[in-house]
Structure 1
Amino acid sequence: LEQLTMAVCAIRREGEGLLEPPEDIGIVIEGVEVLHELTSFASACALLLGLIYVLNLAYPKPLRFTFEKVLMGLGDFKPLAPRLLNLKYDLLGRV
């Protein structure tokens, strides 16, 4: 975790599958866990965007179009992968 610039991390018990809910979901910024015990990946992503804004952090270049692509659906991008579509729907409060 110390080497990560920004990340949403899930802690799972050893041997658990991906279909099991994680034991903990947290946010790491510059190697420091700043939030933990979050309820979902969608809320963790939304909180990470808020932290970037509030703390006036430099957005990592490889992720610079994430907000426009995933949340806003703007730009001339390829269709979203199923995992990104699920994240987008979760962040937008899929019914």
Structure 2
Amino acid sequence: MELKQLTLAMFVIRKEGEGLKESPEDVGIVIEGVEVLHDLTSVASACALLLGLIYALNLAYPKPLRFTFEVFQKIFMQLDQHKMSPKVQNLFGRLQTSQ
């Protein structure tokens, strides 16, 4: 898929034949088809920076991924936990009881 077609995305580039244990060659973020960050240290830092960019630029989550981003924001990053959608609240409850 071309970058121009992406609304909001993270990308990971690996050398051919390398496994998941090796560090990626590049990790970056694309917003509205434009590569806004690259050469990030890890996928985890890219997730945190992506959430920061969404907040700073006041962007809406893409509809197909809104619950995924809500889980990142409210469960993993623990931001605005008191405003969870019922679907995410249900997942959070199940995660709490499985510990």
Q: Same fold (TM over 0.5)?
A: yes
> Quick one: percent identity of the two aligned structures?
71
Aligned AA (2:29):
I
Q: Residue 16 of structure 2 corresponds to which residue in structure 1?
A: 14
Aligned AA (1:3):
Q
TM-score when normalising by structure 1: 0.70
- For structure 2, the 5+ residue unaligned runs are 76-87
TM-superposed CA distance for 1:77, in Å, is 2.0
Larger Rg, first or second structure (1 or 2): 2
Bigger relative CO (Cα 8 Å, ≥ 6 apart): 1
Alpha-carbon distance in 2 for matches of 1:67, 1:6: 11
TM-score when normalising by structure 2: 0.68
TM-superposed CA distance for 1:70, in Å, is 3.6
Structure with the higher fraction of residues in helix conformation: 2
Alpha-carbon distance in 2 for matches of 1:16, 1:67: 28
Q: Residue 91 of structure 1 corresponds to which residue in structure 2?
A: none
Alignment map for 1:29-40 (pairs within 5 Å): 29-40=31-42
Native 8 Å contact 1:24 1:37 kept in 2: yes
Alignment map for 1:57-76 (pairs within 5 Å): 57-73=59-75, 75-76=89-90
- For structure 1, the 5+ residue unaligned runs are 81-95
1:53 counterpart (55, 72, 85): 55
Aligned AA (2:43):
F
Aligned AA (2:31):
I
What is the aligned length?
Answer: 80
Alpha-carbon distance in 1 for matches of 2:59, 2:14: 28
